[in-house]
Structure formats: C-alpha cells, structure tokens
Structure 1
Amino acid sequence: MSASSLPQGGLPAAAAPVAPKVETPFRRFVSEFFESKSAILGLVVFVSAVLIALFAPLIAPQNPYDLAQLDIMDGRMEPGTVGGAGFTYWLGTDDQGRDMLSGIMYGLRISLMVGVGSAIIACVVGASLGLLAAYAGGRTDSIIMRLVDLQLSFPSILAALMILAFLGKGVFNVVLALVIVEWAYYARTVRGTALVERRREYIEAAQCLALPTHRIIFRHLLPNCMPPLIVVGTMQIARAIALEATLSFLGLGVPITEPSLGLLISNGYEYMLSGKYWISFYPGIALLVTIVSINLVGDHLRDVLNPRLKK
C-alpha cells in the first residue's frame, strides 16, 4: 500500500459498520408461512380456483346456462367425446347436454362467493359481539354467551336446513343461513382472546386517557385478537363451502339457474348406478380439492400464528 493511499494518521480507515437487517413481524410471518410446502400448494390451488371462478366467462369453453348453447342430443356424453356441433366435451356432459368442465368453472363462482361471503359477514358479526361481550362483561357478556351456547347446541347442518325450509331457496338465503350458523364460532374465539387482552396495561392506559369505547375496542383490542380470528376464518370458509354444497345437494341450497358444485353433484347422483359417473365425480373432485387446499392453508396458519404450536 502506498503512502498516498493512507489517511493522515497513517492507518487505513475502518470499514463502516453494517446495520443489521430488521425483521418485521410481517416478514417473519411470510418467511415462516412459506417454509411449508403443503401450505404453498394449498395457497396456489386456492388462488387458482379463485382465478378460474372470476374469469370463468372468458375461459370456459361454453356458457353452461345459456340455453342457446345447449344441445339436448349431447346429453350424458362420455369425457373426451366430440358433440354434434364438433365441440369436444373433455369432462363429458350432464343430462341437459351441459359441458361439465364449463359447469365446474361456473359452479366454483357460486360456491366460493357463498362460502367466502358468508364467512366474512359472520366474522364481522361474531367478532363484534365477542369483543362487546369481553369488554362490557356483566349482563351483556352473559346474554351474548348464552346465545352462543344456544347456537352451538344445534348441529350446523340441521339449523341451516330449518332456516332454508322457512326462507326457501336462493343465494341470499343460503348466505343468511350460513351466517346464522357460523357467527357463534367467531364470537366465542374472539371473546376468549379479548378477555386476556382486556387485562393488559395498554387497555388500562387507554381507559385512563378516557378514549371512546369504540376506539378502545376496534383500534386497540381488535388488532390483538386478529391471529386466532384469521385461523378460525380460514377454517370457516372451507366449512361454509362444504355446508353450502350439502344444502344444495339436498335440494335446499341455490336454485337450478345458479348451480354450485353441490348442485352439480346432485344432478348426476341418480346416474351413478348406470355408469355415468362423470356427472357427479368431477364436480366432487373440484369441491374436494378446493376444501382441502383451504384446510392446508388454515392448518399452517394456525401453527405460525400460535407460538405454543411451533416446533
């Protein structure tokens, strides 16, 4: 090293210290979530199902509910058969000549819309009541939790059947029935977490500052109840999709003009014994794959967001 390259003191300048990279909670969550290959697979499958449902009118080979595109003479054709108009039915057709591949794409739209929509509404209702019960306590807590106990004492499918028997078919009625049978799970989960958080110092500090009650509940208490709420919400989406399929299979779900995967399965049930398996089989596989993918994501979310379950 030449003298001209040295600083005035004659010694080389020390390298500037590199600041350690700060790992935010979000980055930690993302890194831990993507450590699981099953969770990644479930997320990819679920996102693919959502995209297929959203863009079904653009990518489906046929609009299965446009009567002008249906040919009754192509009814119950086997998978891979070419129809009378030269159209290839890759997954076969049902008794109305409806392309099963297109029917599954359109059926996913109704199943996901009902499942996700009912889960979100039930989450809002249940979480609000759970937070109110935990924060208010006393008689308010007792009334809300007795309603929760009453709701949970009935099997969900039985309660939904009774509600739809009174309200009738329809997408809105199915969503309403699912909200009624699901909100109690969110309320109980949020109340349990909120009771612990309510005794924390930050809640006492907010109360000492005389902050409005709604601000304490929704700005301070709710964010700390989100991890278990996210896990329960993920599981309830899969449960809502399965419940809707069951109700539609039994004939009390969505109308035939807006069929979901459950109704598609029901349409082919009577043809199973005659060997026309594809009418029910392929919608059933699509339903199974969708529910399993959501459960894979939910299971890993539970492990990541609950420190006691981490290995």
Structure 2
Amino acid sequence: MVNLPETPSIHNAATDRPEAAWRRVWRDYRGSPVAVVMLALLGVILVLALLAPLISPQNPYDLMQLDIMEGLLPPGTEASSGDMIYHLGTDDQGRDMLSAILHGLRISLFVGVVSAVCAVLVGATLGLFAAYRGGRTESVIMRLVDLQLSFPTILVALMILAFLGKGISNVILALIIVEWATYARTARGTALVESRREYIEAAHCLGVPLYRIIFRHLLPNCMTPLIVIGTVQIARAITLEATLSFLGIGVPVTEPSLGLLIANGYQYMFAGQYWLSFFPGIALLVTIVAINLVGDRLRDVFNPKGQA
C-alpha cells in the first residue's frame, strides 16, 4: 500500500504536532503586550455580549419594563422606582442605554462573526477548487472574483438589502455576498503553490476524491492567511452592518445593533442628549479597534517577514 507524503502543518513545520505549532503561535503572539491586552479586552467584550440577557439591568425590548416617562434621562439618574440607576442614561422610550448597548453588541458581533465564517467557507472552497482544477473553471471563478471586487462593497450591500429588505438574516447574506471574493482570491493564491507539491500530485495519482484533496490536504495549508484575513474581516463586517443599520436598511428596530442605536440617538445630539449616540459609538469603536489589533498581531506572527 502506497502512503501519501505527510501534509505540512501550520508554520511550515512538518515535524511539529499541531498543538506544538499553536503553542509557538501563542508564544510569538504574547510578545506584544498591547496585543495581549487587546485579546483580553476582546474576550471581555465577547463574554458581555454572550451574557447580555443575564447581566443587563433591564430587558430594553420588553415593553412591560419600560416607562416612557423616564425617557431621555441623563447618565447617573436613579430610576423613579429606586431599584436601579441609569448609569448611561435612557433613550426616548425609557430604555436603559447600558442594557441596550449590551444587547446591541450581542447582535453586532453575531452578524460580524457569522457572516465572516460563512464568507470564509464559500470563498475558500471556490478559491481552492479554482486553484486545483485550473483551466476554464479557474478563469470563470476568478472573473467572478474580479467582478465582485470591482464594485464598492457598501454599494453592493445597499442594492442587495434594497431588494431583500431588513432583517438580520438578510444582512448576513448581503455581507457574505460582498466578502466571499476576498477569501477566494487569497485561498486560490495560496493553493496554487500547494497544489504543485508532491503530496497533492501523489493524492491525484492514487485517485483520492477531489473533495478530500481540497478539504483534507489543501485547506489546512491555506488556513494561515484565511485566519488573519478573517479576523480583520469580522471588524469590517461589523462596521458594514453598523453603516447599513445607521442608514436604516440593516437590522430591524426590534433587534437593534450598535449602528441602529447610534442612528436612533443622532437626532437628539443637537438637543444636548449626547449619550444616546456617544456611548454606543464608543462601544463600537472599542470593539473594532480590539479586533483589528488582534488581527494585525496574528498577521505579524504568521508572517514575521512582513513586519516593519
């Protein structure tokens, strides 16, 4: 029986076990104190988002808990019932802004992560398939990639949502459509090198099914750039979702994200109620900065030659 050559693992260290390779990644990553702090901050943000229904002082979308007479209260005001303090104030409907931000953060992260993961799956699969098959198949897929990347991302997303309408699922679908091409081009470029290696040629000669060659041999060796790009693209997806929601065609008002909270408070800023947009904006900014800095550090770890 003929055995296939061993597939190289991450960090181009074929002799390392996967867990040893990831220990090396962590050792290199923690060489930057700022990146470690940002990773810890991102972990806190994720925990707050996941536990939002449990730790929020109020369910901001339960009408039985709202009192419109307590609308537009400034930060630090005590509720008329005396059972809570509105640390970040309230909006025009009497919603506690801290609770609204925690729930909005939950939705923003959900949209960003799910759309990025799905876009990676679609783009990486098409990119790997194009690199392995070559010829007309590769030409068709890459022309679609070029066509997709030639249009402004926000314009394409606006057109898709104008047709599909509001909704979290529609926003995720629009973000997948506008983001998959980036992953396809990256995966194809990396797979072109891997597809010429001996273990891929041996697998082909032995009649290994195409799906197994792509997902068992090519994909693991293309994950490094996809992980880096995917991390940064999560922040980009959150930004796009916030922009779409701010424009009024993103998530519905019954499930608002940070972008929609900012939009809802914009009309009150000139009247002095700055907290309605300011605090959701700070939460959005901190989240995006933390994700971007983590992604930048991962890029330096996986590609040390690219560091300045």
**By the TM > 0.5 criterion, same fold?**
yes
Structure 2 residue corresponding to 1:56, chosen from 41, 52, 64? 52
For the residues of structure 1 that align with 2:103 and 2:307, how far apart are their CA atoms? Answer: 39
For 1:239 and 1:310, the matched residues in 2 are separated by: 22
Secondary structure (helix, strand or coil) at the match of 1:24 reads: helix
The answer as to 2:40 corresponding to 1:71 is no
Instruction: Give, in angstroms, the shift of residue 210 of structure 1.
Output: 2.1
1:100 to 97, 102, 105: 97
Residues 246 and 122 of structure 1: CA distance in aligned 2, closer, same or farther (over 3 Å): same
In structure 1, distance between residues paired with 2:259 and 2:304: 37
Q: Is residue 42 of structure 1 aligned with residue 62 of structure 2?
A: no
Show the counterpart of 2:10.
none
Give the C-alpha shift of residue 84 in structure 1: 1.6
**Structure 1: distance between partners of 2:305 and 2:247:** 41
In 2: Cα distance, 1:261 partner to 1:137 partner: 43
User: Which runs of structure 2 are paired with 1:134-283 in the superposition (5 Å)?
Assistant: 134-283=131-280
CA separation in 2, counterparts of 1:175 and 1:300? 27
Q: Number of paired residues?
A: 290
Who wins on radius of gyration, i.e. which is larger? 1
Q: Specify the SS of the correspondent of 2:271.
A: coil
CA shift, 1:82, in A, is: 1.1
Question: Which stretch of the first structure deviates more once superposed, 123-132 or 37-46?
Answer: 37-46
**1:25 shift after superposition:** 1.7
Question: Pairwise mapping of residues 294-309 of structure 1 onto structure 2 (< 5 A)?
Answer: 294-309=291-306
Give 5+ residue unaligned stretches, structure 1. Answer: 1-21
**Aligned residue number for residue 29 of structure 2:** 33
CA-CA distance at 1:241 after TM superposition: 0.4
TM-score computed with the length of structure 1 as normaliser? 0.91
For residue 310 of structure 1, report the CA deviation from its aligned partner.
Answer: 4.8
CA RMSD of aligned residues (A): 1.2
The CA distance in 2 between the partners of 1:99 and 1:177, in whole Å, is: 31
In structure 2, runs of 5+ residues without a counterpart are 1-16
Distance in 1 (alpha carbons) for counterparts of 2:147 and 2:140? 11
Q: TM-score, normalised by structure 2?
A: 0.92
User: Is the partner of 2:253 in helix, strand or coil?
Assistant: coil
Once the two structures are superposed, residues 13-35 of structure 1 have per-residue CA deviations (whole angstroms, 9 ceiling, x without a partner) of xxxxxxxxx99322211100111
CA distance in 2, matches of 1:164, 1:213: 35
